[in-house]
Amino acid sequence: MVVKRRERWEEEEGGGGADQCRTPRSETGTNPGGTAPFQRRQRAASQVSSECYSFPDLQGHMGHTSIYSTFIRNELSVRYIYCTKQRLRHFHYVAFCYYFSPVLNKSWFSPDFNPFFFQALKKTGLLMSDPRLRDCVKHMRQCRPLDNTHDICFSRRRCVSNIILLLTKALKKKFIIPEFEKFTLEIDTMFDRAQRQEGGQVADYIPQLAKFNPDLWGVSLCTIDGQRHSAGDTKVPFCLQSCIKPLGYAIAMHEHGTEHVHRFVGKEPSGLKFNKLSIRRTQIIECFTINKQIIMSSKRFDYVMDFLKATAGPEYVGFSNATFQSERETGDRNYAIGYYLKEKRCFPDNADMMAALDFYFQLCSIEVTCESGSVMAATLANGGICPITGERVLSAEAVRNTLSLMHSCGMYDFSGQFAFHVGLPAKSGVSGAVLLVVPNVMGVMCWSPPLDRLGNSVRSIHFCQELVSYFNFHNYDNLRHFTKKHDPRRKSDEDPNKFVVSLMFAAYSGDVNTMRRFALSGVNMELTDYDSRTSLHIAAAEGQVEAVIFLTETCKVNPFMKDRWGNTPIDDAMQFGHTVIVSLLQDYQRLSSDSYAVSDTDKPKSSLTV
């Protein structure tokens, strides 16, 4: 229960300045016991500290640090905890830090002090520039140190009230990639290896593209929960070029639907060069020249720009007029394709071909950075909902169809190879960009100007291959029985406790099949519970003969391990009169007496976290 509002908080006698403390006074005006006994405060402090264990990221900061120990030992600080312990059930870690602001004599949540709160959020992948945190950061900057714990609570409650669900999800590691810090370390390693890749030529058929430094290299990623990471030259603007094509297709699908759009756009990859003058008799326009499906769009440039800005959230989306002029001056091939389509009556009725080409050149000249491109890709990965703003931008059907075509024909003549080795939808552009989508996980934007002979970025292709070779992101990777690849989506911090509970119940009920499944999955069969009892202790005490045989003969569980009372499995079997199990364990102890040291019997290898 939250402390009643009617309770009046008055300063304790003798208190003042930084040492003042407030205690609740009841409605009758009497002080409930004066200064609470120290043991009572200790219990309150223990109850409060247990709240912190709901947040794995914060255990290291508040669970056993010297600062926290000092707080607990300090009688004044314990009073702060006692007076406010009930509210902490609602504010969790955030409110816990608020109450210690007077003790620290500074605003804990001011970003200028780089506090634990923002450090913890950064480790989860959230950036302070995230619009979901904008109001929180703004209010925290306005907060100042207060001596009154009651005022601290309610003056700063508005800082987190609107995003408490987001903060809880972040700090409890409930995001799609729970161990984001470890994940980004691997991403940085892949980035460094890709940076060492030499070769390739910067595209020069458009003068503006030829001006880019070939050493530029950047990678940004954004998950469907808004976790962000960037490495390299991720703030340098570059033109989307052909990377605009799947986005333009998605907008057309969102506005007009599948049936109408595919009256003009085919679905089958042709196997021909992307700009070859050819169409099949069976379909009006093939998807290998994705240029054509954007030429069909009837929407104006501003409308598309607004759409793209919605997919990118607050990130940069601009326009390069110089590139647009270069495209118009050197776009002879595109003009030829336009006239060819016009001759074959592929345009909608009353379509203006020249206006459509100008519009296409404008779209290719739209500028983004790796950071904004990754949010666009994450919007596709998230089913059309921008992960930063939470706004639905594209329909689920439009996203599904877009990713399908990106998978089959998004990488020019390298599409088949890319689909085979990487197995993810992607689109490349002659600017050196590669827009990569890991469905239901994240979006990635890679950019490096040097291109291979097929028009794809050398470093970006290498990075994508490394990504899929290390993580099981390939569309057809087995998520349950993988051995060599890593799954960053697994919540490893929860697995040991779940395994212990399930293993103990299996031993209790004699469920050998379940125990065999755990053993084949690589689970340590000597895991212990809170009483330091192994599964062999449980099986021996319950008289489960088959379970004991499996644990001793197959799993080779240590028979000498002692629980908290100093009992071994054979002691439990003798206590409950299971003579058959006693005989089995005696034989097993004689055979394995030389295999286990004394230290192994006294110290369990693993225990249940409580």
Q: Look at residue 476 and tell me if it is in a domain.
A: no
Q: Is the pLDDT of residue 334 over 50?
A: yes
| Pairing assessment for the beta strands 201-202 and 218-223 based on DSSP bridges | unpaired
Average pLDDT value for the chain: 76
Model confidence at 80, pLDDT cuts 50, 70, 90, reads: very low
Residue 579 makes CB contacts below 8 A (sequence gap 6+) with: none
Compare 45 and 400 and report the one with higher pLDDT: 400
Contact 410, 398 (CB under 8 A): no
Domain end call among 171, 200, 219: 171
Domain end call among 122, 138, 171: 171
- The pLDDT score that the predictor gives to residue 396 is 93
Q: Which helix (H) or strand (E) holds 44?
A: helix 38-52
Clarify whether residues 238 and 340 are in a common domain: yes
Clarify whether residues 228 and 326 are in a common domain: yes
Compare 91 and 529 and report the one with higher pLDDT: 529
188 Cα distance to chain centroid: 16
In angstroms, the CA 230 to CA 516 distance is 43
Contact 436, 445 (CB under 8 A): yes
Contact 583, 557 (CB under 8 A): no
- Structural domain harbouring 155: 8-171
CB burial string 430-462: b at 16+ within 10 A, e below: bbbbbbbbbbebbbbbbbbbbbbebbbbbbbbb
In angstroms, the CA 348 to CA 377 distance is 30
Domain count, the chain: 3
Partnered with residue 218 across adjacent β-strands are 232, 447
352 secondary structure, DSSP code:
-
Compare 260 and 187 and report the one with higher pLDDT: 187
Q: Is the pLDDT of residue 19 over 70?
A: no
Among 554, 545, 420, which residue's Cα sits nearest to residue 475? 420
Q: Is the pLDDT of residue 87 over 70?
A: no
472 secondary structure, DSSP code:
S
In angstroms, the CA 428 to CA 413 distance is 11
Q: Look at residue 482 and tell me if it is in a domain.
A: no
- Token readout for 303 is 């409308």
Partnered with residue 426 across adjacent β-strands are 436
The CATH number that applies at residue 433 is 3.40.710.10
- Token readout for 273 is 């060069």
Q: Is the pLDDT of residue 608 over 60?
A: no
Instruction: List pLDDT tens digits, range 463-488.
Output: 999 999 999 999 888 766 666 788 89
- The pLDDT score that the predictor gives to residue 226 is 94
3-state secondary structure 406-448: HHHHCCHHHHHHHHHHCCCCEEECCCCEEEEEECCCEEEEEEC
Clarify whether residues 206 and 344 are in a common domain: yes
Clarify whether residues 444 and 560 are in a common domain: no
Clarify whether residues 255 and 281 are in a common domain: yes
What is the amino acid identity at position 501? V
Tokens 């050493």, located at residue: 215
Clarify whether residues 214 and 345 are in a common domain: yes
- The pLDDT score that the predictor gives to residue 439 is 95
Model confidence at 517, pLDDT cuts 50, 70, 90, reads: confident
- Average pLDDT of 134-153? 61
Q: Look at residue 389 and tell me if it is in a domain.
A: yes
Q: Look at residue 3 and tell me if it is in a domain.
A: no
Q: Is the pLDDT of residue 319 over 70?
A: yes
- Average pLDDT of 325-336? 87
- The pLDDT score that the predictor gives to residue 530 is 87
Clarify whether residues 286 and 228 are in a common domain: yes
In angstroms, the CA 124 to CA 390 distance is 18
Tokens 């002879």, located at residue: 332
- The pLDDT score that the predictor gives to residue 289 is 36
Q: Is the pLDDT of residue 64 over 60?
A: no
Instruction: List pLDDT tens digits, range 384-435.
Output: 999 999 999 999 999 999 999 999 988 988 999 999 999 999 999 999 999 9
Q: Look at residue 454 and tell me if it is in a domain.
A: yes
- The pLDDT score that the predictor gives to residue 139 is 73
Q: Is the pLDDT of residue 9 over 50?
A: no
Contact 221, 444 (CB under 8 A): yes
Q: Look at residue 537 and tell me if it is in a domain.
A: yes
Q: Look at residue 176 and tell me if it is in a domain.
A: no
Compare 365 and 109 and report the one with higher pLDDT: 365
348 secondary structure, DSSP code:
P
Q: Does this model's pTM top 0.75?
A: no
- Average pLDDT of 211-236? 95
Of the spans 68-77, 165-174, 421-430, which averages the highest pLDDT?
421-430
- Average pLDDT of 362-367? 93
The CATH number that applies at residue 528 is 1.25.40.20
In angstroms, the CA 128 to CA 132 distance is 9
- Average pLDDT of 156-169? 77
- The pLDDT score that the predictor gives to residue 590 is 86
- Average pLDDT of 559-563? 92
Backbone angles phi, psi at 433, to 5 degrees: -90, 150
Of the spans 160-174, 490-504, 545-559, which averages the highest pLDDT?
545-559
Q: Look at residue 610 and tell me if it is in a domain.
A: no
Instruction: List pLDDT tens digits, range 435-468.
Output: 999 999 999 999 999 999 999 999 999 999 999 9
- Average pLDDT of 332-341? 86
Model confidence at 229, pLDDT cuts 50, 70, 90, reads: very high
Instruction: List pLDDT tens digits, range 267-310.
Output: 877 666 655 555 543 333 333 333 444 444 446 788 899 999 99
Model confidence at 167, pLDDT cuts 50, 70, 90, reads: confident
Clarify whether residues 316 and 462 are in a common domain: yes
Contact 386, 394 (CB under 8 A): no
Instruction: List pLDDT tens digits, range 338-353.
Output: 888 888 877 777 778 8
Q: Listing from the earlier edge strand, what are the strands of the sheet with 442-447?
A: 228-232, 218-223, 442-447, 433-438, 426-428
Contact 415, 409 (CB under 8 A): yes
Residue 534 makes CB contacts below 8 A (sequence gap 6+) with: 525, 526, 527, 528, 557, 558, 561, 569, 604
Return the axis-axis angle of helices 353-364 and 244-261, rounded to nearest 10°. 140
Clarify whether residues 86 and 158 are in a common domain: yes
Compare 604 and 190 and report the one with higher pLDDT: 190
In angstroms, the CA 55 to CA 96 distance is 12
- Average pLDDT of 352-381? 92
Q: Is the pLDDT of residue 110 over 60?
A: no
Model confidence at 145, pLDDT cuts 50, 70, 90, reads: low
Clarify whether residues 300 and 447 are in a common domain: yes
Clarify whether residues 454 and 526 are in a common domain: no
Beta strands (DSSP E) in 287-432 are 317-319, 366-368, 426-428
Clarify whether residues 156 and 192 are in a common domain: no
Model confidence at 494, pLDDT cuts 50, 70, 90, reads: low
